Amino acid sequence: MSVPSDARLDTLLQHTGQAPLDPATGSGPVAMPSMRTSTVRFADMEALDRAQAAKARGERVPTYGRVGLQTHAALETLLCELEGGTRAFLAPSGMAAISMALLALAGQGDHILAADCVYAPVRYLHKTILSRMGVRMDFVRPTVEALTAALRPETRVLYLESPGSLLLEMLDLPALARWGRAHGLVVVVDNTWGSGYVYRPLALGADVSVVAATKYIGGHSDLMLGAAVACDEALNRRLGETHYALGSTVSADDAWLALRGARTLGLRMRQSAVHALEVCRWLESRPEVSRLFHPAWPADPGHALWRRDAQGSNGLLSVAVDFDGAGARRLIDALRLFGIGYSWGGYESLVTQVEPQALQTHGYWAEQADARLRAGSVLRLHIGLEDPRDLIADLQQAFTQALA
Ligand SMILES: *Cc1c(COP(=O)(O)O)cnc(C)c1O
C-alpha cells in the first residue's frame, strides 16, 4: 500500500505519516502512536556512527529526544505537504515558531520590514528581544510603494501575514513576495489563517511559512504548537541551526494531537467557512452592522485577491457595529453560544472585541474614512461547527439585548 504520487491534498492528509509496520509481524497500528521518549538508543556503535553522519549531512536523524521521533517526523511531513515545503521545524507555540524564524534570519544591524497588519505579539518580540539584539523592525502598509519607501540597505527580511490579523485584509502576496525577492529579502509569511489548506504562501512566492497549529491544524482548542516550513536548503539549514540552538521542543503528545487534528482539517475548515458565510448573510441584514471583514464575502474589498490566491476560507470574521464600547460589551455579554475568548480555529465559536488601540496600529483601519464605521466597535467572531441557525439566533437575541 502506497500513496500515488499524484494524490491530492485531502488524500495526503489521511495517508501521510502512517505508523511503520513491524517487519517481524508485517502489521502495525493505523494511527501513529505518541512516541514519548527523551532519548534514542542504538543497536551498536556503527548504527550510532551512521546516524551521526546522516545528521551532519543535514538529514532529519534523531540521536536524542529533543527533535522528536516518528510522531514528530510524521507531523513534520504532513506540514510539509500542506505548505509545499521540504522541512518543517516544530515549536511549542505559533509565537515560538515566529520567534525562531526571525531569530534565524536576522542579526545585529539587520532590518526587518513587517506588514502593519501582522499578529500583534510580533511587535512585542521586537520590543523585548530583537531590538535588544540590535535588530530594527518597521511595521508599514503592505504595499510595494510603502515598503519601497521604508527599505534600507540593511533590510534582510520581509515579514507578512495574509489576510491580516484583526481585519483580515488580503495582501497581494505574489506581488509583495516578488518585490521582496528582487531586493534580496527573505520573505516570511504567517500562514495561520490558511494553515496550508486554503492558502499556501510558499507557492505564492514566500520563502518561509510559519503557522500556529494551535488554531485550525490542532482544531480542538486543546494544544499549543507552531512550525516554520521552508523549501530552500540553505534556509532549512539556517532554521535547523536556530531550532537546535534554542532547544525548541514539542511534546510527542502534542505532535500526536496536531496530527490527529490535521486528518480532519479540510472538513472542519470547509464547514466553518460555510457557517461563517451564513452568519455574514445575517449580519449584513442588520441595520447596526456597518462593515464585514471576511475575504470570502463577495463585498469584501479583498474578495478578488482571495478568489485568485486562496483555495477556500474559514470561520474567522470581523464585523463593525454601530455600538459604542459599552454597547459592544453588552452585546458580547449577552451571547450564550459564543465563548468570550481569544484564539480561533477550534470546533467552537468565540468572540472578542477588537481593542481600539490595536486598530490604531493598523494602517488599513486608518484608511477607512467612513465616520460611521469609526464611531462604532469592531468584534471578531470565530464561527465554529455549531448549527449556524443556533449561532444566528444567539446573535439575534444578543443584538436585541444590546439595543435595549
Ligand atoms: C494565534 C496566532 C499566532 C500565535 O500562535 P500561538 O500558538 O498562540 O503562539 C500567530 N499568528 C496568528 C495569526 C495567530 O492567530
pLDDT at residue 250 above 70? yes
Exposure b/e, 1-18, CB count within 10 A at least 16 = b: eeeeeeeebeebbeebbb
Q: How far is the CA of 24 from the centre of ligand 1 (A)?
A: 43
Q: How far is the CA of 124 from the centre of ligand 1 (A)?
A: 13
User: What is the 3 state secondary structure string of the chain?
Assistant: CCCCCCCCHHHHHHHCCCCCCECCCCECCCCCCCCCCCCCCCCCHHHHHHHHHHHHCCCCCCCCHHHCCHHHHHHHHHHHHHHCCCEEEEECCHHHHHHHHHHHHCCCCCEEEEECCCCCHHHHHHHHHHCCCCCEEEEECCCHHHHHHHCCCCEEEEEEECCCCCCCCCCCHHHHHHHHHHCCCEEEEECCCCCCCCCCCCCCCCCEEEEECCCCCCCCCCCCCEEEEECCHHHHHHHHHHHHHHCCCCCHHHHHHHHHHHCCHHHHHHHHHHHHHHHHHHHHCCCCEEEEECCCCCCCCCHHHHHHHCCCCCCEEEEEECCCHHHHHHHHHHCCCCEECCCCCCCCCEEEECCHHHHHCCHHHHCCCCHHHHHCEEEEEECCCCCHHHHHHHHHHHHHHHHC
What phi and psi, each to the nearest 5 degrees, are found at residue 89? -115, 120
Q: Confidence band (pLDDT; 50, 70, 90) for 392?
A: very high
pLDDT value of position 1: 64
State the cell numbers at 74.
510524521
CB contact set of 218 (below 8 Å; sequence gap of 6+)? 225, 257, 258, 261, 345, 346
- The CB of 95 under 6 Å from ligand 1? The reply is yes
Domains, the chain, ordered by start: 9-37+68-262 (3.40.640.10), 265-403 (3.90.1150.10)
- The CB of 209 under 6 Å from ligand 1? The reply is no
State the cell numbers at 145.
510603494
pTM here is: 0.97
pLDDT in tens, 51-104: 999 988 888 999 999 989 999 999 999 999 999 999 999 999 999 999 999 999
The fraction of the chain above a pLDDT of 70, given in percent, is 100
pLDDT value of position 387: 98
Closest protein CA for atom 6 of ligand 1: 94
Q: How far is the CA of 386 from the centre of ligand 1 (A)?
A: 23
Helices 70-83 and 252-262: crossing angle in degrees, nearest 10, is 40
Give mean pLDDT, residues 40-50: 97
- The CB of 94 under 6 Å from ligand 1? The reply is yes
Closest protein CA for atom 5 of ligand 1: 94
pLDDT in tens, 332-374: 999 999 999 999 999 999 999 999 888 888 899 988 888 898 8
Give mean pLDDT, residues 362-391: 93
Give CA–CA dist 126/74, Å, rounded.
32
Average pLDDT, the chain: 96
Q: How far is the CA of 100 from the centre of ligand 1 (A)?
A: 14
- The CB of 231 under 6 Å from ligand 1? The reply is no
Q: How far is the CA of 403 from the centre of ligand 1 (A)?
A: 33
Closest protein CA for atom 15 of ligand 1: 192
pLDDT value of position 263: 97
Give CA–CA dist 348/216, Å, rounded.
11
- The CB of 377 under 6 Å from ligand 1? The reply is no
Handedness of CA 4, 8, 11, 17 (dihedral sign): positive
pLDDT at residue 173 above 80? yes
Give mean pLDDT, residues 377-396: 98
Closest protein CA for atom 8 of ligand 1: 94
Give mean pLDDT, residues 31-53: 96
Residue numbers annotated as active site: 66, 119, 190, 215
Give CA–CA dist 134/137, Å, rounded.
10
Give CA–CA dist 32/28, Å, rounded.
9
Give mean pLDDT, residues 136-149: 98
Give mean pLDDT, residues 383-396: 98
- The CB of 93 under 6 Å from ligand 1? The reply is yes
Q: Is 2 or 97 the better-scoring residue by pLDDT?
A: 97
- The CB of 214 under 6 Å from ligand 1? The reply is yes
Give mean pLDDT, residues 122-150: 98
pLDDT value of position 404: 87
pLDDT at residue 4 above 90? no
Mutate to test the pocket of ligand 1, among 118, 122, 192 (most ligand atoms within 8 A of CB): 192
